[in-house]
Amino acid sequence: MALDTVPSNYGQVDIGIVHLGLGAFHRAHQAVYLERHLARHGGSGGWGICSANIRSNWRLVEQLRAQGQRYHVAEYADREHVTLREIAAIRETLYAGEDGPDREALLVRMSDPKVRIVTLTVTEKGYYLNPAEGTLMTDDPAIAHDLDNPDSPCTAPGMLVEALARRHRAGIPPFTVLSCDNMPDNGKRTRQAVIDLACQRDAVLAEWIAANVAFPSSMVDRIVPAMTEQDFARLAELGIDDTAAVVCEAFSQWVVEDDFPQGRPDWEHDGVEMVSDVAPFEAMKLRMLNGSHSLLAYLGALDGVETVADAVSRPDIAALLTRYMQDEAIPTLSMPAGTDLTDYTERLLARFGNDSLRHRTHQIAMDGSQKLPQRWLNGAQSRLAAGGGIACTALGVAAWIRYTRGGDLHGQPHTVDDPMAETFAELHRRHAGSDDALVAAFLGLESIFPSTLASDERFTRPVLAAYRSLEARGVAATLDNLDSLAL
């Protein structure tokens, strides 16, 4: 095996970025870019990160502290080529989850004038936005909690509003808010969540935020599966005993809208692509990479396929993904000149085939209610408006509906991990005897499906046909007969 090691080699660093969502993705993506940045500047420049967990995982914070806030990222190009990086860019870790002891410390840090950027990876559901419309769900209990306890918030929008309120009161310029989650217009969506929440608190504050805070959008990309015992064992073989380590692919991309009125790292020299408009890149990545991911995840999971690499090693699934990308995703995109989407398709399939990663289909299948609109439904709307077909997308939606029943097509039960899981369970109970009624009830979920799709037979008919076929004939036979289903 070819192993490259890259140790961290700088000393003191000031904190200039607060990050909300200390998950594996952040540790393997943003922190690696900042590590490169800090190494290039010998630690100077003031762009160290304070990273906070705002939901769960106190243990990770404890582990990182015990390790002097250092950890490793193992980048696997394939089974034979690994780059092992030591990361020290995260200078401080805080636990501000429910009853988290560091909630106030986090707000103090976010109010520090030296902090000029707050970044987020809190997943789609962490913004508390209605997935279809993108407006703040003010009746959600967590948001209600933050409205009742504005100085001790538990959500990301609540933290941002409270920290901005403190800065406003103290006459400190605001920080720039950079969302690094997989949502279209993630900057605009974050802005909407923050301003909607601020409006409920204080109109003057809301106006100040609207006029003064920048919310650039960004597209983030790196495949970072949840760590398994096997991953830790592999790292142990490389001599690494690090419970905060992360394993990921070698590929990484970060495209950021260049709108940082309070300054930013010169990270264009660290591989970050700074652009004036991220939207085409976001749509490309969400519809092609994430759309394919969800497609293989639901179909694979229903057929007992455990990982992404196993799924794409099946010719029928690989062919479906190619067809989906070529026929249903690419025609909906308008990219800057010079972007080669056929090449992008091939590279994606190669990345999915990287069998040195154990990326579980069930991991990708979680939170479908939050993911479907940007991965499939926006594209499907454009396709139908242009008179195009959506057979693969309809099959994906059918597989998702079947997946939410909580078991695969071979009778193996699984957990449905989704903020709407209870609603799904209730629909499956209520419509157990009728596929028609069940599919209609799912497509009628307004927080997921726009009415233009729910009322369009060119969408509803193939979804129902695919659902019936999956149930009656299974995944392989359905894939074999996809064209006859879509008629």
CA–CA separation, 87 and 250 (whole Å) = 15
CA–CA separation, 217 and 191 (whole Å) = 10
Closer CB to ligand CS2, residue 221 or residue 257? 221
Comparing CA positions, the residue from 258, 232, 262, 263 lying closest to residue 245 is 232
Q: Which stretch binds ligand CS2 (CB under 6 A): 60-68, 103-111, 216-224, 334-342?
A: 216-224
Alpha-carbon distances, residue 313 vs 32, 249, 310 (angstroms): 30, 17, 5
Cα torsion 479, 483, 484, 486 to 10°: value is 100
CB-nearest residue to ligand CS2: 293
The DSSP annotation for 274-332 comes to EES--HHHHHHIIIIIIHHHHHHHHHHHHTT--BHHHHHTSHHHHHHHHHIIIIIIGGG
Task: State the minimum distance, in angstroms, from the CB of residue 223 to ligand CS2.
Answer: 5
Residues across the chain: 487
Task: State the minimum distance, in angstroms, from the CB of residue 441 to ligand CS2.
Answer: 24
Closer CB to ligand CS2, residue 103 or residue 189? 189
Q: Is 32 in the site for ligand CS2 (CB under 6 A)?
A: no
Task: State the minimum distance, in angstroms, from the CB of residue 337 to ligand CS2.
Answer: 24
Q: Among 222, 234, 287, 405, which residue sits at the site for ligand CS2 (rule: CB under 6 A)?
A: 222
454 by Cβ neighbours in 10 Å (0-12 / 13-18 / 19+) ranks as: middle
Q: Can you read off the two tokens belonging to residue 395?
A: 């099959």
Q: Which stretch binds ligand CS2 (CB under 6 A): 127-135, 288-296, 313-321, 379-387?
A: 288-296
Closer CB to ligand CS2, residue 84 or residue 289? 289
Closer CB to ligand CS2, residue 182 or residue 354? 182
Comparing CA positions, the residue from 416, 390, 419 lying closest to residue 402 is 416
Comparing CA positions, the residue from 85, 75, 84 lying closest to residue 356 is 75
Q: Can you read off the two tokens belonging to residue 113?
A: 């004038």
Q: Among 93, 121, 179, 290, which residue sits at the site for ligand CS2 (rule: CB under 6 A)?
A: 290
Task: State the minimum distance, in angstroms, from the CB of residue 321 to ligand CS2.
Answer: 13
Task: State the minimum distance, in angstroms, from the CB of residue 129 to ligand CS2.
Answer: 17
Comparing CA positions, the residue from 159, 203, 201 lying closest to residue 177 is 159
In one letter, which amino acid is 475? V
CA–CA separation, 308 and 355 (whole Å) = 8
Closer CB to ligand CS2, residue 301 or residue 464? 301
In one letter, which amino acid is 57? N
Alpha carbons within 13 angstroms on the beta-carbon side of residue 421 total 11
Q: Which stretch binds ligand CS2 (CB under 6 A): 163-171, 218-226, 269-277, 338-346?
A: 218-226
Q: Among 35, 124, 146, 221, which residue sits at the site for ligand CS2 (rule: CB under 6 A)?
A: 221
Judged by CB under 6 A, the chain residues 330 through 389 that form the site for ligand CS2 are 363-364
Q: Which stretch binds ligand CS2 (CB under 6 A): 221-229, 320-328, 420-428, 475-483?
A: 221-229
Q: Is 223 in the site for ligand CS2 (CB under 6 A)?
A: yes
Q: Is 182 in the site for ligand CS2 (CB under 6 A)?
A: yes
Closer CB to ligand CS2, residue 50 or residue 278? 278
Q: Is 177 in the site for ligand CS2 (CB under 6 A)?
A: no
In terms of phi and psi (left: phi > 0; alpha: psi -120 to 50; beta: otherwise), the region of 21 is left
Q: Which stretch binds ligand CS2 (CB under 6 A): 135-143, 289-297, 333-341, 392-400?
A: 289-297
CA–CA separation, 62 and 59 (whole Å) = 5
The number of residues that bind ligand CS2 (CB under 6 A) is: 9
Closer CB to ligand CS2, residue 182 or residue 469? 182
3-state secondary structure of 15: strand
Closer CB to ligand CS2, residue 181 or residue 196? 181
**Residues paired with 73 in a beta bridge:** 85, 246
**Residues contributing to the site for ligand CS2 (CB under 6 A):** 182, 221-223, 289-290, 293, 363-364
